Structures are given as structure tokens and as C-alpha cells.
Amino acid sequence: MSRLPAAKRREQLLDCAAELFAAHGYARATTSELARAAGVTEPIIYRHFKSKRDLFIALIERTGKRTIDRWRQDLASAEDPAERLKTLIGDNPMVSTQGRDAYRVFLQAITEVDDADIHKAWQNHIHSLQQFLAMELARAQENRRVARHFPAELIAWLLIDIGLGYGVLSAMRVENHNFDATGEVHVQQLITRVLVGRAAEARENDVD
């Protein structure tokens, strides 16, 4: 067993937990399996987390932070509000390489939301994503790139709802749920067109 600084060991355990829970389900996976996957003994796990439940809550919190950090990084060089929204629409963490395992764990553990602490962590996670999207949408509205017919916070919830549905269907490997009958128009293009019109799509074609 290799020795790691406490902070790195904690991150390693969360990484291994995301993979293990995604593969076997949160309820079925055990801390002994996690210890084997991480190459440590079970007491090491309990030095960092009081229980599997506390580890799961930490995973929810870390995933939310990582999603927002990635969004900020992806938007760092984008100035135009319409382009920023287009980037966010195409950056669904539920289907990205970095976030897929963690979000599949959340879907598998949906029965755990009756636990008050897990529910609070999951709710805070979703609200943090919604608030980030609402901020970007408000910026686009201020620059007249998105219509003001509906408040930014409500449009943000719509994007969350659509994104979750898209992620669930992708996790279930439902075929052809994201393109039209021709296979040429993706649902992300539709959402972008509805929100910001043809301008962003035209710029996308110029780049292609």
C-alpha cells in the first residue's frame, strides 16, 4: 500500500468510489470492495469518511464543485453571451467523460434521497448548477441575446430539467434520442436555436 498525503488519499478514495458505485450500484457496493479497489485497508477509509453514506455525500459535493469549475474553465475564453450559452448547452456533465460515473451513481442512488443529509447535499448540488446557468442567462438577456419573456432563473431550471432527461436516456443507452430522423440535427442545436436564434448557429458553421 503506497502512502499518500491525506488530501490526495481522500481524492483517490472518492475517485475509486465513483467508479465502484457506478459499476455495482451505491447500495450493493461495500467499503471492503472500495478498500480493495483503492489498494488500502478499510480503516484507512474510515480515517477520511465516517461511513459509506458520508463518502457518498462528499462525492455529491465534489462533483458539483468540479462541474462548475469545468464550466468556468470552458468559458474562460468565450466573451459573447450566446457563445457561452452554446458551450454550456453542449457541456452536460452527465454525459462527459469526467462526470459520467458520478452522475450515474446519483441516478442509481435515487432511493437514498429520503435520507435528510443526502437530500440536502443533492439539492444544494442541483441548485448550484441552476444558479450558475441563471447567471449566464441573465447576462445574455442583458446583452439582448436571449429574450426576456421568461426570467433567467426559470429558463435555467428548464435547462436543468432537459439536461437531466438527456443524461438519463444516455445512461440507459437509448438509441437515437438526441438526433432528428435525418441524423443531422442534434437536440443541442435545437435548444441553442430556441434560446439564442440563428446567430450562434451561424458562427458555429463558420468555424466548422
**What's the confidence (pLDDT) of residue 7?**
92
| SS3 sequence of the chain | CCCCCHHHHHHHHHHHHHHHHHHHCCCCCCHHHHHHHHCCCHHHHHHHCCCHHHHHHHHHHHHHHHHHHHHHHHHCCCCCHHHHHHHHHCCCCCCCCCCHHHHHHHHHCHHHHHCHHHHHHHHHHHHHHHHHHHHHHHHHHHCCCCCCCCCHHHHHHHHHHHHHHHHHHHHCCCCCCCECCCCCCEHHHHHHHHHHCHHHHHHHHHHC
CA dihedral 78, 79, 82, 85 (to 10 degrees): 50
User: CATH number of the domain that 180 lies in?
Assistant: 1.10.357.10
Q: Taking the model in full, what pTM does it have?
A: 0.86
Residue 30 structural domain? 1-49
Q: How many domains does the chain have?
A: 2
**34 in the same domain as 89:** no
List the pLDDT tens digit at each of the 208 positions of the chain.
567 889 999 999 999 999 999 888 888 899 999 999 999 999 999 999 999 999 999 999 999 999 999 999 999 998 899 899 999 998 999 988 878 888 888 888 888 889 999 999 999 999 999 999 999 999 999 999 998 999 999 999 999 999 999 999 988 889 888 888 888 888 888 898 888 875 444 444 443 3
Query: Is residue 159 included in any domain, yes or no?
Result: yes
**What's the confidence (pLDDT) of residue 183?**
86
**What's the confidence (pLDDT) of residue 207?**
39
**What's the confidence (pLDDT) of residue 1?**
52
User: CATH number of the domain that 12 lies in?
Assistant: 1.10.10.60
**89 in the same domain as 33:** no
**180 in the same domain as 78:** yes
**What's the confidence (pLDDT) of residue 176?**
86
**What's the confidence (pLDDT) of residue 2?**
64
**What's the confidence (pLDDT) of residue 100?**
84
